[in-house]
C-alpha cells in the first residue's frame, strides 16, 4: 500500500511541477517577441498580409489569449481587422475533460467581402493557387462506431460578448451591396441541457433596393447534449424598417413567442407566436410531426382585422385606387390547420373582405400538389373594387394604334394546366359585377391530367336563372373547348341596360348554347367556333324602333295616302320571337327568325359578323289583321296577306336604334303580289310588266317629298 501511495504522490508531484513549469513559461516568455515570426508564417502559407499592431497577452489560470489591433489584407485590400479578441478557458476544466470557457470577447471586427465581375469572391483567393485546405476522409462505418461509443460533449461558457462588429459585402457582378454593422451579441451561462439568455442587436443596410433594418432580439435558448433538441423561449424581437421601399416611413415589425424542434423525432412546435408588421398582426399555434413530404400539421392561424389602405400608407406604398374609397378597410383571416401526413387541411376557414364574409375549407396535398377549396360567401360588389373611370379620354390616335401594336398572347399556360389537380366549389349569395346583379351563384371547377372542367356555373339573374358548363382539354398544344349554357326567363332589357347601357329589346330570354372550338388565342377560338344558339323571347318588345310604323308606310303607299305624324310611339311589342343562330367562326347565321306582332307575323333571316360588328338582316312583316288605327294604314283586300319588307343593316355596336328601316327595293315584289291579287284572272307576267312600267325606278328613290308623290300616283294607277 505504501508503494501505491508513493506512486500517487509522485504523479501529483510531476503534475505540480508541470503546472509550475508552464506557469513560469507564461510569466517569463513574452509572446510579443514572436509577432514577426507569426506574421511571416501567415504570409508564407497564405496570400494574406497579417499585421499584429497591438499587444499579445496570455495567461495560465484561466488559460487565456488576448489579441489587440489585428489586421489582415489580401492583395493590398483590407479583408479582416479587429480591435480586440479575448478567449479564456478554465485550465482545470480541460484536465477534467469538461471544457469551460470563462469568456469570449470579440470587439471591433470588420470584414470586407467582395465578388468580382466574373463572380469570384475575394475569400477564395486566401490560399495560394492550387492549394486547398486538406479534407480528412473517414470510413463511415468506423465513424458511426466511434460516435456511438463516445459520450456527449459536455461544455459550458460563462460569457460570450461580441460588440461593434461589421461585415461589408459588395457584389460587383450584380451591383448589390449589403452591410451588417453595429452588430452586438451577449450570452451567458451557456451549457448544454439548460436555458441561457441571448441578446442580439444589429443594423443591415441593403443597396438595391435601398433598405435599412435595425433589429433587436432577446430570447432564451437551449440545446440538449446530443444537439438534436433545440428550444427558443421568451422570444421578443423588433425591427425598424426604412429606405427607398418605404418612402419616408419607418415601419416597425416584430416577432414574439416560443419554438422548439426535435430533430431525432422530427417534431416541431410553435407556441404563442405573434408576428406583426405595422398594424398587421398574425398569431399562430402549430405542431409539426414529421419533416419533409410526410409532415403532419395541427394548429391555428389568425390574422386580426386590419385596413389594407392604412397598411399600405404605413409602409409608404401608393394607395390602391378603387371606385369606392371605403373598401379594403376591414380584412381578416382565420383557420384551423390539420390533416393526415402529407396533406394540409384548413378547416373552419373564415375570411372577411369589408362587408363580405367567406367561410369554408381548403386542402393541399404535398404528393401531387392537389388543391381543394370549398368557399361560400355573402354579398360581394366587385364594381366597388374596380379602378375609377378616368375623366380624360384616351387620344384617338393611341386608341387606333393600340390594337395593332398589341401582340396577341396565349390565354392558358398549358404546361402549368397539365399539372393542376383541382377540386373547387365556390358560392356567393349575391355578386354585382359590371352593374349586373347575380344571386345564388354556385360553381364547381375540377382539373386533372390536363382536363379543366367547369362542371357548374349557375345562378339567378333578372327574374330568371342560368346554368353553364365548359371543358378545356389541354392535353395537346391545340386545346379543345366545349361550352354549353342554358338561360331560362332572364329579362333581357334590364340585363342589357346594366351591362352595356343598351335598351334595344325586352322580354324573357330563353337560350340554349352549344359551342365547340379549338385554340389558345381569342382570334383563333372565334375562327374555329362551331355550334348553335337556340333562342326564344316571350312577350317582349323592340324598345327603340317602331316596326308597325315601318309596315304602315308600305300600306299607306298602297292606299295612296299619308300617315299622321303623331301617336306612333317608339316601341314594337311582340310575342314569342324565336330562332336559331348557327355559329360558323365569326359568322352567326339565322334563317328561321319568327315572331308575332300586332296584326302581323314577322319572319326573317340574316347574318351577324362578330369580327366587324356588322348585321345584315332581311325581315318580312306579313299582314294578317288590323295593324294600327291610322286610316292610311287600313288593311284592304289588297293589303291583307301581303309582306311588308324591312331591312336591318349596319354596325350594331354604334347605333342599334338606326339599324332597321323600310326596304323600298323589295317592296316592288310586294306590290306585284298585291296587283296580281287585284287583277285576279290576269296572267302574272302581265301584272309584273304593268308594275314595272308604272313604277319603273321610282320606288327605288326616296319615299318622301316629290319622289313619294310620284310613287303614290303610280300605285293608284296600278290598282285602278
The 10s digit of each residue's pLDDT in 501-526 is: 667 788 888 999 999 999 999 999 99
20-34, 37-51, 199-213, 457-471: segment of lowest average pLDDT: 20-34
Other beta carbons within 10 angstroms of residue 179's beta carbon come to 16
Q: State which of 277, 305, 320 marks the end of a domain.
A: 277
Same domain, 76 and 207: no
Q: Which of 228, 250, 277 delimits the end of a domain?
A: 277
Considering the domain architecture, whether residues 210 and 88 belong to the same structural domain is answered as no
Range from 14-28, 379-393, 397-411, 450-464 carrying the lowest mean pLDDT? 14-28
Q: What is the pLDDT of residues 236-289, one digit of tens each?
A: 999 999 988 888 889 999 999 999 999 999 999 999 999 999 999 999 999 999
Q: What mean pLDDT is predicted for residues 361-374?
A: 94
Q: Rounded CA gap, 235 and 501, in Å?
A: 60
Q: Which three cell numbers stand for residue 68?
A: 489587440
Can you tell me the mean pLDDT for 59-86?
82
pLDDT greater at residue 247 or residue 161: 161
> Would 706 be classed as within a structural domain?
yes
Co-location of 576 and 690 in the same domain: yes
Query: How far is it, in rounded angstroms, from Cα 104 to Cα 291?
Result: 35
User: Based on the structure, what is the number of domains in the chain?
Assistant: 3
Find how far residue 354's CA is from the centre of its chain.
19
Contact status, residue 57 vs residue 87, Cβ threshold 8 Å: no
Residue bearing the bigger pLDDT, 647 or 101: 647
- In degrees, rounded to 5, the angle at the alpha carbon of residue 374 between the alpha carbons of residues 373 and 376 is 135
Instruction: List C-alpha distances in Å: 82 to 45, 66, 166.
Output: 21, 12, 10
- Report, as an integer, the average pLDDT of 105-119: 90
Do 197 and 115 belong to one domain? no
The verdict on residue 20 lying in a domain is no
| Model confidence at 706: pLDDT above 50 | no
Does residue 95 sit in the same domain as residue 222?
no
Between these two residues, 309 and 544, which has the higher pLDDT value?
309
Percent share of the chain, pLDDT over 90 = 41
Name the pLDDT band for 60 (thresholds 50, 70, 90). Answer: low
The dihedral formed by the CA atoms of 215, 219, 225 and 230, expressed in degrees to the nearest 10: -80
Is there a single domain that holds both residue 118 and residue 196? no
Instruction: Band the pLDDT of 681: cuts 50, 70, 90.
Output: very low
* Domain boundary residue, one of 137, 170, 189: 189
Nearest to 219 by CA among 185, 192, 252, 249: 185
If one compares 298 and 6, the residue with the highest pLDDT of the two is 298
For range 446-456, the mean pLDDT = 94
Averaged pLDDT, 104-108: 89
C-alpha cell at 317: 406604398
Same domain, 242 and 113: no
Residue 653 confidence (pLDDT):
72
Across 356-360, 532-536, 709-713, least confident range: 709-713
Distance CA 238, CA 701 (A): 87
Banded model confidence at residue 644, pLDDT cuts 50, 70, 90: confident
The Cα 182–Cα 177 span in angstroms is 17
Neighbours of 559 (CB within 10 A): 22
Per-residue pLDDT, 61: 60
In this prediction, residue 575 carries a pLDDT of: 85
pLDDT band with cut points at 50, 70 and 90 for residue 182: very high
Burial of 362 (0-12, 13-18, 19+ CB in 10 A): middle
Residue 4 is predicted with a pLDDT of: 43
Contact 352, 329 (CB under 8 A): no
- Least confident stretch, 50-64, 263-277, 300-314, 611-625: 50-64
Tell me if 570 is assigned to some domain: yes
pLDDT score at 556: 83
Could you tell me the residue range of the domain that residue 77 belongs to?
A: 42-125+155-162+184-189
Place of cell 424542434: 261
pTM of the predicted structure, to 2 decimals: 0.75
User: Among residues 450, 449, 453, which one has the least CA distance to residue 425?
Assistant: 453
713 and 564 fall within a common domain: yes
- Whether residue 619 contacts residue 645, with contact meaning beta carbons closer than 8 Å, is answered with yes
pLDDT of residue 45: 83
pLDDT of res. 21: 47
Residue 27 lies in a domain: no
Residue 401: which pLDDT band, with cuts at 50, 70 and 90? very low
Check whether residue 645 and residue 568 sit in a common domain.
Answer: yes
Q: Does pLDDT of 395 surpass 50?
A: no
Output phi, psi for 525, to 5 deg: -60, -40
Mean pLDDT of the chain: 82
Instruction: Tell me: do 90 and 204 sit in the same domain.
Output: no
* Same domain membership, residue 692 and residue 557: yes
Confirm whether 599 is domain-assigned. Answer: yes
Confidence check: pLDDT of 477 > 80: yes
- Whether 516 is covered by a domain: the verdict is no
pLDDT confidence tier of residue 29, bands split at 50, 70 and 90: low
Task: Flag whether 681 is in a domain.
Answer: yes
Amino acid at each position: 500500500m505504501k508503494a501505491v501511495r508513493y506512486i500517487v504522490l509522485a504523479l501529483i508531484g510531476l503534475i505540480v511541477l508541470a503546472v509550475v513549469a508552464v506557469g513560469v513559461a507564461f510569466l517569463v516568455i513574452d509572446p510579443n517577441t514572436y509577432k514577426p515570426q507569426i506574421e511571416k508564417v501567415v504570409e508564407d502559407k497564405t496570400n494574406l498580409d497579417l499585421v499584429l499592431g497591438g499587444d499579445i497577452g496570455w495567461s495560465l489560470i484561466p488559460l487565456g489569449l488576448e489579441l489587440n489591433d489585428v489586421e489582415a489584407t489580401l492583395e493590398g485590400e483590407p479583408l479582416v481587422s479587429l480591435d480586440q479578441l479575448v478567449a479564456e478557458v478554465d485550465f482545470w476544466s480541460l484536465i477534467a475533460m469538461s471544457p469551460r470557457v470563462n469568456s469570449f470577447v470579440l470587439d471591433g471586427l470588420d470584414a470586407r467581402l467582395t465578388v468580382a465581375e466574373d463572380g469570384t469572391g475575394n475569400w477564395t483567393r486566401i490560399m495560394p493557387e492550387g492549394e486547398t485546405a486538406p479534407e480528412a476522409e473517414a470510413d463511415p462505418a468506423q465513424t458511426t462506431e466511434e460516435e456511438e461509443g463516445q459520450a456527449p460533449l459536455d461544455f459550458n461558457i460563462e460569457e460570450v460578448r461580441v460588440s461593434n462588429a461589421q461585415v461589408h459585402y459588395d457584389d460587383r457582378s450584380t451591383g448589390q451591396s449589403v452591410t451588417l454593422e453595429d452588430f452586438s451579441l451577449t450570452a451567458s451561462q451557456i451549457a448544454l441541457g439548460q436555458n441561457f439568455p441571448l441578446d442580439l442587436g444589429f443594423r443591415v443596410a441593403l443597396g438595391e433596393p435601398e433598405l435599412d433594418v435595425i433589429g433587436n432580439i432577446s430570447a432564451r435558448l437551449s440545446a440538449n447534449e446530443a444537439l438534436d433538441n433545440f428550444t427558443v423561449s421568451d422570444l421578443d424581437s423588433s425591427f425598424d424598417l426604412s429606405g427607398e421601399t418605404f418612402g419616408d416611413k419607418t415601419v416597425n415589425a416584430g416577432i414574439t413567442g416560443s419554438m422548439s424542434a426535435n430533430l431525432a423525432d422530427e417534431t416541431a412546435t410553435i407556441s404563442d407566436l405573434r408576428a406583426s408588421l405595422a398594424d398587421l398582426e398574425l398569431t399562430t399555434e402549430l405542431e409539426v410531426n414529421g419533416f419533409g413530404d410526410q409532415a403532419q400539421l395541427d394548429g391555428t392561424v389568425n390574422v386580426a382585422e386590419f385596413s389594407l389602405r392604412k397598411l399600405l400608407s404605413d409602409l409608404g406604398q401608393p394607395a390602391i385606387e378603387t371606385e369606392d374609397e371605403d373598401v379594403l378597410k376591414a380584412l381578416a383571416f382565420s383557420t384551423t390547420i390539420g390533416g393526415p401526413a402529407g396533406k394540409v387541411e384548413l378547416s373552419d376557414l373564415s375570411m372577411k373582405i369589408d362587408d363580405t364574409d367567406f367561410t369554408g375549407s381548403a386542402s393541399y396535398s404535398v404528393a401531387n400538389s392537389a388543391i381543394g377549396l370549398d368557399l361560400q360567401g355573402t354579398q360581394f360588389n366587385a364594381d366597388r373594387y374596380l379602378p375609377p373611370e378616368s375623366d380624360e379620354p384616351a387620344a384617338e390616335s393611341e386608341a387606333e394604334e393600340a390594337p395593332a401594336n398589341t401582340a396577341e398572347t396565349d390565354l392558358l399556360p398549358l404546361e402549368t394546366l397539365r399539372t393542376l389537380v383541382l377540386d373547387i366549389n365556390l358560392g356567393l349569395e349575391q355578386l354585382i359585377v359590371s352593374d349586373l346583379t347575380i344571386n345564388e351563384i354556385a360553381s364547381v371547377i375540377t382539373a386533372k391530367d390536363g382536363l379543366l372542367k367547369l362542371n357548374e356555373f349557375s345562378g339567378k339573374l333578372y327574374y330568371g336563372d342560368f346554368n353553364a358548363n365548359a371543358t378545356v382539354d389541354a392535353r395537346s398544344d391545340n386545346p379543345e373547348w366545349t361550352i354549353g349554357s342554358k338561360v331560362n326567363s332572364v329579362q333581357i332589357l334590364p340585363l342589357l341596360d346594366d351591362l352595356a347601357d343598351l335598351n334595344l329589346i325586352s322580354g324573357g330570354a330563353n337560350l340554349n348554347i352549344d359551342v365547340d372550338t379549338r385554340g389558345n388565342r381569342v382570334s383563333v377560338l372565334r375562327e374555329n367556333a362551331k355550334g348553335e344558339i337556340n333562342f326564344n323571347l316571350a312577350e317582349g318588345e323592340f324598345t327603340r324602333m317602331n316596326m308597325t310604323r315601318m309596315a304602315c308606310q308600305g300600306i299607306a303607299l298602297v292606299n295612296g295616302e299619308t300617315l299622321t305624324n303623331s301617336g306612333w310611339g317608339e316601341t314594337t311589342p311582340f310575342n314569342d320571337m324565336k330562332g336559331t343562330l348557327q355559329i360558323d367562326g365569326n359568322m352567326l347565321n339565322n334563317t328561321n327568325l319568327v315572331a308575332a306582332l300586332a296584326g302581323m307575323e314577322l319572319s326573317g333571316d340574316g347574318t351577324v359578323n362578330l369580327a366587324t360588328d356588322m348585321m345584315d338582316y332581311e325581315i318580312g312583316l306579313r299582314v294578317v289583321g288590323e295593324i294600327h288605327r291610322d286610316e292610311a294604314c287600313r288593311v284592304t283586300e289588297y293589303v291583307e296577306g301581303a309582306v311588308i319588307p324591312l331591312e336591318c343593316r349596319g354596325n350594331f355596336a354604334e347605333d342599334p336604334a338606326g339599324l332597321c328601316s323600310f326596304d323600298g327595293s323589295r317592296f316592288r315584289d310586294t306590290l306585284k303580289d298585291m296587283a296580281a291579287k287585284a287583277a285576279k284572272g290576269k296572267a302574272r307576267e302581265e301584272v309584273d310588266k304593268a308594275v314595272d312600267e308604272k313604277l319603273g325606278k321610282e320606288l327605288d328613290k326616296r319615299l318622301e317629298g316629290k319622289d313619294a308623290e310620284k310613287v303614290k300616283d303610280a300605285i293608284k294607277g296600278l290598282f285602278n
